[in-house]
Structure 1
């Protein structure tokens, strides 16, 4: 009884509980004995609109049972998800990044309105994970994030394939390298079941980051979707939240600056998505940690890229799970001095204490390279700055052999027009293809450009044409690409003043991105420019009028400005 009273629900401990309030809860199954226990929310992102989340209803039930057995009163509620893979290349992609904030706000709303004491948040697709993390930060109650898990690789002609294989297949088909039947066969075999896209794309990247940050239980990020291990993750998460309540451990105790540095280090070592920079900045903003875009370059310079994972490598997340998972990678990094071992985690133990019990990488594996033979001596995610991107642009250089590219700008104000030019063979080797007015405000929604980048790769132009945008790229993107160019065109960033034929230089070694224009000419172009009207209707209108610069995480809450 003493333990129950110490952590019982704040709904019942803060002031007198009126009979009508109790009556409402009795109607959903709460008993007299339950009124002495903490109420634990289980936020489910279950949906039939994407294979990433199709199985999460069952996982939420597992989390509920775990919380109940530990001594809590669990209540499942839902939030939305959208599929980037389905919306890619369409106007629907504008809704993807805003969905992160819808998810965060809706979870926080339920936790706050229902006075919940703890939270298990289960997410799978790209925006679920940062959305859940932002909600956890803003709600402020003891919480655990659970990743819904990765999809198994598809099989085609004896080789592993995934959703990116389909996008690249479109480019090969356009180039005449494969026929209709071959493209359809790739399409039909790419996604064999439930789970998030299999490479080190955004979902797996952010899941790994959450585990490295200490907000997920050990092993959660690499346990595949359709396995008994994933079901156990959820049950244990329900138990873990109860124990966090007992110990008085809150998200702010876990998500510290050092914990974010651990997350960035693991993302660099694994060769994660460029979206990690955007999302980690937004989560840090929510938890009020002083993380800036420059911190990524600082950590990039000292962290080797070790993982041979798609999109630039050979393997998928399920292969990493097979050889020891993210915990084994973290153990390797910690033993070499790359991680802060004293950070507290949702187990109630430190990173070092968790890793002492973790397995090492299996002998003979080749998914993770040794330190003396890394994929790259430093991290593959870099922030470039210069007169084209004063606040920064983001590039992923893993597997890219070209470190410097200078070429004429081919400027488009929409992805549709740029894609048509590529498909009509109007873009030539050496060009710098620019897609602007697709940033957070201008898109609105900062859509991803996986479709056009994959088509370039499929046509054999992945490292022969540079692709620049104030929009984003998918975690599945690879090639000579720079996104997140800030300030964006809509806000009067220099990318708005770029003209057809201007010579643009990208230098990943110097971390610079610039175009040849005098200060006088740039000022003249600025004076002639006027911003297009902002979108005004619905969620996209609200987003366009509230969102910050991508260099600050494209956040929508108050920035004090």
Structure 2
């Protein structure tokens, strides 16, 4: 066993004394030691129930003959961090989670790991750590939140963000806004739509590192507790068989993930996280490859924010196995990929038919013939940009209009809420990238303000920051190179025409090449906004080109 290096031989005596100080018996020390990474905290709704998940995992580990040992991981609530400097810390927390988990698992040589995850950066951070450490590992999430109801309509947290814009536009009363606040998030769990947290929990299932149901069984259901117990039991089998994350998360597994991502209409942030996880596996994913997969993968689901369906609806319609079973009819899924169940993907999804064709469409009647995410390139984004195509109104698939340029999210929000953005405009928010932010903030507030103001079908938004999985509309993020690196988005002037063609995968600044070259020659780097602390060190890392898998 891997833990023998700290348990066996005469030189292990001091370490054994410390293990005894934990209350471990000789019988326990002889058994496999299983590290359980607990992301439980009292500030993130998706994590407030993880103590129950951890307890269930511990029971499962013990039932199977192992010894559960819990250690913590941090987690940031993107929704609570939104709209202030806290959002600058959200994405970078992913690296802290991966690094600290690596430190704990190497310093204390556990025989296996159970990653108890839930929300946006926590799930990919732990998947990155699992790949990096590469000892038998399995993921279990806390499960999605149930959706709420308000005046006869399903609502989620994204409904509240959009309601802020509606209120400022004078189209909603303070009483209704308060009523929505009180019912939009009715339970614990990761927010109820196909936002980033649930996207990545589904991806952990598709990649094969979590048991079926991990992405969709709601947090409040007892089935989630049973799944946690099964997860705890299953890690002992993985340890015995020495099945490791990189045995499961192969290049073919990531192709499966991209296909299912397109079918589900996942968050654009999956285009940040899947390449980062793949990088830790020694696999490089080019963003442009997403378009190739999208061409052959129909969009089968319109969950919130693209539609009203929630994760509970997806679970009741058959969950991820039903989506994958339907996709398998195209003959493109890699059905022989291994999974933590001990079975192949094909064996896991066999017989899982769609139970509600209004939630999971059949392949011959999709919501869209192409996948839910598109990568756009052009002279404004030479290295690419990302849009959640499934959440764009058909009328905005092609759009051209004058640029309204802002050098921070805060200035853009003030303009939108102040009624200074008009139909046809293209809002440009720059210097919000990994280096320029620093930290690459999510732009849920400005997109929600646009939707809430009734401009979702007439105004586009482009940024070198990123978008929340809850964003919808013609919102194009991750524009690269970013403004802080002198990318073309830094050269946009107020009033410049910008052309967006999502069907053709292009993003064009309608300015002659000679003029762009002149602007580039005159461009001067800006001084960093943050000069001390972790974000400053992070920005320097990005500036030096030592990105690793981060944010490219």
TM-score (structure 1 length as normaliser):
0.95
Structure 2 CA distance for partners of 1:321 and 1:549, relative to 1, 3 Å = farther
Aligned length: 548
For 1:544, which of 539, 544, 550 is the aligned residue? 539
Offset at residue 108 of structure 1 (A): 1.1
Q: Is the 8 A contact 2:299 2:367 kept in 1?
A: yes
In the alignment, structure 1 residue 359 sits paired with structure 2 residue 374: no
Where in structure 2 are there 5+ consecutive unaligned residues? none
Cα contact 1:438–1:444 (8 A) shared by 2: yes
Q: What is the deviation of 1:17?
A: 4.5
Tell me whether 1:298 sits opposite 2:292 in the alignment.
yes
Give yes or no for contact 1:249–1:348 (8 Å, CA) kept in 2.
no
Show the counterpart of 1:75. 69
Structure 2 residue 433 is the aligned partner of structure 1 residue 422: no
* Deviation larger for 34-43 or 128-137: 34-43
Q: What is the RMSD of the two structures over their aligned residues, measured on CA atoms?
A: 1.7
Tell me the equivalent position of 2:372. Answer: 380
Alignment of 1:455 with 2:449, yes or no, is yes
Residues 131 and 281 in structure 2, CA contact (< 8 A), matched pair in contact too: yes
Cα distance per residue 1:299-334 (max 9 Å; x no partner): 111100011311111200011111211112112222
CA deviations on 1:271-295 (whole Å, 9 max, x unpaired) are 1110011000110111111221122
- Residue 361 (structure 1) shift: 2.0
Alpha-carbon distance change, 25 to 100 in structure 1, aligned in 2, over 3 angstroms:
same
Task: Please point out which of 122, 125, 135 is paired with 1:131.
Answer: 125
Correspondence for 1:407 among 401, 406, 412: 401
**3-state SS of paired residue (2:105):** helix
Unaligned runs of 5+ in 1: 1-6
Query: CA deviation digits over 1:96-118, x for unaligned, max 9?
Result: 10111111111111101111121
- Asked if 1 retains the 8 angstrom alpha-carbon contact of 2:264 and 2:372, the reply is no
The answer to whether the 8 Å contact 1:436/1:489 transfers is yes
1:154 corresponding residue in structure 2: 148
Q: 1:236 — aligned with what? A: 230
- 1:318-351 Cα shifts (integer Å, max 9, x gaps): 1111121111211222243231000001112111
Q: Tell me, what secondary structure is at the counterpart of 1:484?
A: strand
> 1:21-62 CA distances to partner (integer Å, 9 max, x unpaired)?
111111222211222222110001101111110000111111
For normalisation by structure 2, the TM-score amounts to: 0.96
Instruction: State the partner residue of 1:555.
Output: 550
Contact 2:277 2:549 in 1 (8 A): no
With over 3 angstroms needed to count, the CA separation of the structure-2 counterparts of 1:420 and 1:41, relative to structure 1, is same
Moved more, 286-295 or 339-348: 286-295
CA contact (8 A) 2:265 2:301 kept: yes
2:35 aligns with: 41
Task: Find the residue that maps to 2:211 and give its secondary structure.
Answer: coil
Q: How does 1:41-60 map to 2 (within 5 A)?
A: 41-60=35-54
Give the 3 Å change call, closer, same or farther, for CA 188–128 of structure 1 in structure 2: same
Match of 2:180 in 1: 186
Q: Is the 8 A contact 1:548 1:554 kept in 2?
A: no
Deviations 1:347-372 (A, max 9, x none): 1211112123x63222x541111222
1:238 deviates by 1.4
Contact 1:8–1:36 under 8 Å retained in 2:
no
Comparing 332-341 and 109-118, the one that deviates more: 332-341
SS in 2 for 1:541: helix
Q: Contact 2:275 / 2:284 at 8 angstroms: preserved in 1?
A: no
Structure 1 residues 458 and 24, CA gap change in structure 2 (3 angstroms): same
Residue 13 of structure 1 deviates from its aligned partner by 6.5
* Structure 1 position 8, deviation (Å): 6.3
CA distance in 1, matches of 2:23, 2:317: 44
SS of alignment partner, residue 23 of structure 2: coil
DSSP 3-state at the match of 1:292: coil
1:15 deviation in Å? Answer: 5.9
How far apart, CA to CA, are the structure 2 residues paired with 1:260 and 1:555? 17
SS in 2 for 1:547: helix
**Distance in 2 separating the partners of 1:188 and 1:511:** 40
User: Structure 1 14/437 Cα, relative in aligned 2: closer, same or farther at 3 Å?
Assistant: farther
Q: Is the 8 A contact 1:467 1:481 kept in 2?
A: yes
For 1:447 and 1:554, the matched residues in 2 are separated by: 18
Distance 1:549 1:366 in 2: 49
1:398 counterpart = 2:398: no
CA distance in 2, matches of 1:509, 1:269: 17
Question: Which residue of 462, 475, 486 corresponds with 1:492?
Answer: 486
Shift of 1:549: 11
- Write the distance in 1 (CA, Å) between the matches of 2:250 and 2:10: 36
Cα gap change, 1:76/1:13 in structure 2, threshold over 3 Å: closer, same or farther? closer
Mapped partners of 1:237, 1:39: distance in 2: 15
CA distance in 2, matches of 1:555, 1:224: 30
Q: Secondary structure at the match of 1:189?
A: coil
Query: Distance in 2 between the 1:299 and 1:240 partners?
Result: 32
Work out the CA distance in 2 between the residues paired with 1:339 and 1:367: 21
